Chain A
Amino acid sequence: MKVLLSIKQEYLLNAFMIFFIVHSTQIGVGIQGYQRIIYSDSHQDAWISVILSGLYASLIVYIIIKTLELYETSDIYGIQHDVFGKLIGKLLNVLYIFYSLISFFVVLRNYMEVVQAWIFPEVPLWFLTTSLLMLVIYGIHSGVRGIAGIAFFSVTLSLWLLILIIYPLQHAKWTYLLPVLEADLIPLLKGVYHMTFTVIGFEILYTVYPYMKDKNKVQKYAQLAILFTTCIYTILMMVAIVYFSGAQLERTVWATLSLFKVVRLPFIERFEYVAITFWMLIILPNLILYMWAACRGMERVFTFSAKKSVWLFSSIIFIITQFVISRTQINMMNGYFAKFAFVVVFCYPLILFLAAWLKKKFTKKKEQSV
């Protein structure tokens, strides 16, 4: 396998597109109901946990981009292959493809759960799966620039949803935030740990980095994306805390969606119906980018064409969705996935960076001595 990639000029993306790619991959299904989980850890200080998780994510993004900069035009598949050798590298690459696919599946299944619970309890699962997979397959076929475009429109076209938090804020009780910093460090960090499921998504940098035009600007825009996402998470966390009472929040599974219930426009009530269906646009880049990362891996590791692997993976996902049905199963899956993702996204990049850095240093010394 070739470690370094040479990508044609016409496929390259502007550096600031990484803002939209990272941000849109971060925001997905987690945002719909992370408040309850974090609140049960650190109560009214949950927003501090959210900020801390944002800071940690920013650090990880820094490390990820530093790792990628060591190789300049390679992705995670090439780096792992180079650092860990043929066999272990391949194993890790397969594991990363598996991780991307699981992420895809988790996003897909959780969104369907929301659609079924809120709007269409009677529409069969396979029908919803097929419709979303169709969009994904069509999206993947439009190439990297097209995928980035979907991420771009997903972010820009859904910004207006943010304005709607004015409605719950009218009923806010700001005293719910007090006393500040009551929680100890341990619950705060526990909250950070539980934010994993919501915050991840920036690991897409590992696969999309070679497609960036001016790579020295990637760091800036990726950090901006993390900042923007963390701001949204913090604001939504705070709004949830000041709007719901503590006991109420602990019983609200999808707090963000419940916030939309308050929105009352002269021509529309029960706004969450609109919000949930509109969520399709928000999770679409999520799905497409994760699927793309997996297909890209197949292309890199097994030289299996991406267009073929989309169909292969889609049919696999389609079959798996038929087995994860109940809410408890989904909760269990989310729990396992969060642990897996914590290792892959929050711990592994540090190891990979160290290994890659040592390897670079080692080989450089060798070259010098020769």
Chain B
Amino acid sequence: MFKKRAINKRLQPKSSLENGPQTEELAEPHNTSNLPLKSDDLTPMIHEKFNNTSDLKVKKYINLTIYYIENQINQQELNQNIIGKIKQADEITTETVYASIAINEVEDTDDLSYAILRMIKGSVALFIEGTPKIILASIPVKESRALSRPENESQVTGPQLGFNESLATNVSVIRRYLSTPDLCNEFFVFGTRTNTAVSLLYIKGIASEDLVNRVKHKLNQIEVDALIDSSVLNQHLDDHSWSIFPQMLLTERPDRVSDGLLNGKIALFVDGSTNVILCPFTFIEFFESREDYNIRWPIATFIRLLRIVAMFLSIFFTSIYVAALTFHYEIIPQALLVPLGESRSRVPFPPLFEAVLLEFIIELLREAGARLPTKVGQTMGIVGGIVIGTAAVQAGFTSNILLIIVALSALASFTAPSYTMGNVIRIIRFPILFMAGFLGFYGVMFGFCLLLIHLIRLSSLGAPYLSPFYPPRFQDWVDSVIRLPMKYTNKRPTLTRPADVQKYDPDKVN
């Protein structure tokens, strides 16, 4: 029911624009709909709406006309459950059609545009002579692949299940994790040309109403012609579209989405997209993984700290090396100076050029690895890396110490559990590298300050991006960079302003 209302709401103004006022005036007094009474009049109208597409089929059976798009419907179901059943009836009226069709989802409409839309989505339209109505029976072809392992967010422990491209399947997977009637699913349609289905999921009683309304308001404001993937919707919803940082999580893990929903977040599912948007999201949460809850807390804390260190290392390590070697060689201890000098003695380039070159090669390898087919990609990555690395050192292109540093920071950037965040870390390395090359530590610090101010300014759906550090929310620190035992993480994070703060009674858990 909800589906129909949502779609109608969006389509009504458009159809009234096209042929609204005139048809209303011309329509006969007893026929309030814009549909004709005869199929001979209706058929050209539908043909025209579909621009005479060749896969539109029109079948006549006594006073019943059947319209459908050939590739969108299940032929077997049409024969068995619709035509087969109607043939058994004595006469064909709306009532008998309704009574005989053995299909779950049947509705009737007098809005042609709506009927057209449903036909694209896999409905059969039935028209009975003399009745200005179209009966729609939904028998879409279900072409979706089976649920498989998440490709981009792998975990050692925990469920190995990833979303697929079907909205219905994805939502049902979430329903399996969260079997509660409080899980609300609201339906939206996006794109004036693509009519993409979007589902908004949240748990009533946990998610703050203010937040849900804010998302809905934002969704209603967006007017686009096409929506192919959730990552595009994500960019439409961002507070700061100029920023390099992702402000919402794109994930293909149902357990992660369920966890987010339980913490008062809001999930957006886009039909045809394997990634689900989870919002609002903070900077530090991009370095948390669902797996951290599956393993014991000291290990989880260690791994989280490791990721944070890796992030800093990845952004600043090469820059510090370049700055130290270009301007501040005084800071390098004597014992280290000798091997450093030896390894750099054959290199003809200044450190900045050397570093940028090597970083560029690493980025090249990564991008090539992502584009190549899986099996070739892995081999190419390793072989290319080793071959280019050793050859570059032997040829006197780079020093082997820098090679270690660059490889280390590349490796570190892959520890971020979110692919989008990993990308950002790799990219912001370059401007800081240049600043280090021109201004030494001063440049690195300038980059750091700029980054800090930028992060302070950012927000995700109005929630501060650096929470729980700024604004300081100390009660949330138990589950941020560190993770304490379950007994102490019994509160939901303040970030989402959850309606129900307490997860469970801390006295009743270990």
Q: List residues of B (393-423) whose CB comes within 8 Å of A's CBs.
A: none
Give the complex CA separation of A73 and B328 in angstroms. 50
Chain B CB within 8 A of A316 CB: no
Chain B 420-442 interface mask (CB, 8 Å, partner A; 1/0): 00000000000000000001111
Residues of B within 8 A of A142 (CB): 453, 456-457
Interface of A is mostly: helix
Chain A CB within 8 A of B445 CB: yes
Chain B CB within 8 A of A278 CB: yes
Give the complex CA separation of A269 and B328 in angstroms. 10
A-B pairs, 9 with minimum CB distance:
A277-B441, A149-B456, A142-B457, A149-B470, A277-B445, A270-B330, A280-B445, A270-B331, A273-B328
Asked, given contacts A153-B470, A270-B330, whether A135 binds B449 with beta carbons under 8 Å apart, the answer is: yes
| Stretch touching chain B among A115-123, A197-205, A241-249 | A115-123
Residues of A within 8 A of B441 (CB): 119, 273-274, 277
Chain A CB within 8 A of B444 CB: yes
Give the complex CA separation of A146 and B454 in angstroms. 9
Asked, given contacts A139-B453, A284-B449, whether A267 binds B470 with beta carbons under 8 Å apart, the answer is: no
Asked, given contacts A120-B442, A131-B446, A152-B470, whether A269 binds B452 with beta carbons under 8 Å apart, the answer is: no
Chain B CB within 8 A of A271 CB: yes
Chain A CB within 8 A of B373 CB: no
Asked, given contacts A135-B450, A138-B450, A138-B453, whether A14 binds B471 with beta carbons under 8 Å apart, the answer is: yes
Give the complex CA separation of A278 and B444 in angstroms. 9
| Min C-beta distance of A117 to chain B, whole Å | 13
Give the complex CA separation of A318 and B440 in angstroms. 23
Residues of B within 8 A of A150 (CB): 452-453, 456
Interface of B is mostly: helix
Chain B CB within 8 A of A91 CB: no
Of A115, A128, A153, A274, the contact of B452 (CB 8 Å cutoff): A153
Q: Is the CB of B333 within 8 A of A273?
A: no
Q: Is the CB of B470 within 8 A of A119?
A: no
Name A152's closest neighbour in chain B (CB-CB).
B470
Q: Is the CB of A119 within 8 A of B457?
A: no
Of A139, A149, A278, the contact of B466 (CB 8 Å cutoff): A149
Q: Is the CB of A273 within 8 A of B331?
A: yes
- The contact size tier of chain B is 20 to 34
Give the complex CA separation of A120 and B336 in angstroms. 24
| Min C-beta distance of B200 to chain A, whole Å | 25
Name B448's closest neighbour in chain A (CB-CB).
A281
Which of B330, B452, B453 is packed against the most chain A CB atoms within 10 Å? B453
Q: List 21 A-B contacts (CB under 8 A).
A: A119-B328, A123-B442, A128-B442, A131-B442, A135-B446, A135-B449, A135-B453, A139-B453, A142-B453, A146-B457, A149-B471, A266-B333, A267-B333, A267-B336, A269-B330, A269-B334, A270-B331, A273-B441, A274-B441, A277-B442, A280-B445
| Min C-beta distance of B358 to chain A, whole Å | 21
Q: Is the CB of A280 within 8 A of B331?
A: no
Give the complex CA separation of A143 and B466 in angstroms. 16
Residues of A within 8 A of B331 (CB): 268-271, 273-274
| Min C-beta distance of A229 to chain B, whole Å | 19
Chain A 1-38 interface mask (CB, 8 Å, partner B; 1/0): 00000000000001001000000000000000000000
Of A152, A273, A278, the contact of B472 (CB 8 Å cutoff): A152
20 more A-B residue pairs beyond the given contacts A119-B328, A142-B457, A270-B330, with a C-beta to C-beta distance below 8 A: A14-B471, A119-B440, A120-B440, A128-B442, A131-B439, A131-B442, A135-B449, A146-B456, A146-B457, A150-B452, A152-B470, A153-B452, A153-B469, A267-B333, A269-B331, A269-B332, A277-B445, A281-B445, A281-B448, A281-B449
Chain B 448-483 interface mask (CB, 8 Å, partner A; 1/0): 111011101100000000100111100000000000
Give the complex CA separation of A134 and B472 in angstroms. 27
| Min C-beta distance of A258 to chain B, whole Å | 15
Q: List residues of A (230-272) whose CB comes within 8 Å of B's CBs.
A: 266-271
